Chains A and B, each alone.
Chain A
Amino acid sequence: SQQGEEDPQALSIQEGENATMNCSYKTSINNLQWYRQNSGRGLVHLILIRSNEREKHSGRLRVTLDTSKKSSSLLITASRAADTASYFCATSQGAQKLVFGQGTRLTINP
């Protein structure tokens, strides 16, 4: 069963706009990771945030984590056509299995 639930399931925005995706999970975690997947290919690791962190940045990506609400958000600023992909959050209790949500399908329109 999936632990993480992404919201929305699909998001379509214009190039240059910001995209925000949310993830909720059910149990306690050690860390939460965001991955990108292009057209059914392999997953690309974007960012990892640990349970004792509240916010993390990497380039145009900003991730927040609220452990009290068991939720995380991924913000992509100044979106580009190349950002079109599916985005997944995955929770972990250490270097063990990742539990993925069903993903958000992001489309950037030129």
Chain B
Amino acid sequence: DAGVTQSPTHLIKTRGQQVTLRCSPKSGHDTVSWYQQALGQGPQFIFQYYEEEERQRGNFPDRFSGHQFPNYSSELNVNALLLGDSALYLCASSLAGFLSTDTQYFGPGTRLTVL
């Protein structure tokens, strides 16, 4: 049973560029959440996708956008990259509805460095 997978593992970009990160949820899960974790900090919620729609959003600018595909996989896009966007980006999957255990399972993360 595959867990949550993310790609790429590491990424280096320069200021002003755009980046796309990818996530495949744990088998059987239908909900994907994205988090940003700066060095030495706890993860911060970016947004959550369910049924291909953004269900909830954290305090992040519109430069951060996402998408969920029919197979429940998801992408996180960040435009006009800033130095402060350098962080570990974590994807978490969960199951919605009456079968939900409320537990979110995390992938290994994508380390983004903006130069």
Contact = CB atoms under 8 A, between A and B. Distances in A.
Interface string A45-57: 1001000000000
Which 10 residue pairs spanning A and B have beta carbons closest together? A100-B42, A97-B45, A42-B108, A43-B106, A42-B106, A95-B100, A102-B42, A100-B43, A42-B109, A95-B102
Interface in B35-50: 35, 39-45, 48
B107 interface: yes
22 contacts: A2-B44, A4-B42, A40-B88, A40-B111, A45-B104, A45-B105, A88-B43, A92-B102, A94-B102, A95-B94, A95-B95, A95-B96, A95-B102, A96-B56, A97-B33, A97-B58, A98-B33, A98-B43, A100-B43, A100-B44, A102-B40, A103-B41
A69 B1 CA distance: 39
Contacts of B103: 33, 45, 48
Nearest to B111: A40
Interface string A67-110: 00000000000000000000010101011111111110000000
A2 B35 CA distance: 13
A48 B101 CA distance: 9
Contacts, number: 72
Interface of B: 4, 31, 33, 35, 39-45, 48, 55-56, 58-59, 88, 90, 92, 94-96, 100-109, 111
A31 interface: yes
Interface of A: 1-2, 4, 30-31, 33, 35, 40-45, 48, 88, 90, 92, 94-103
Interface of A is mostly: loop
Contacts of B100: 95
Contacts of B33: 97-98
Contacts of A42: 4, 90, 106-109
Contact of A44 (B35, B96, B106, B111): B106
Given A2-B42, A4-B42, 18 more contacts: A33-B102, A41-B109, A42-B4, A42-B90, A42-B107, A42-B108, A44-B106, A48-B101, A48-B103, A97-B33, A97-B48, A98-B33, A98-B45, A98-B104, A100-B35, A100-B44, A102-B40, A103-B42
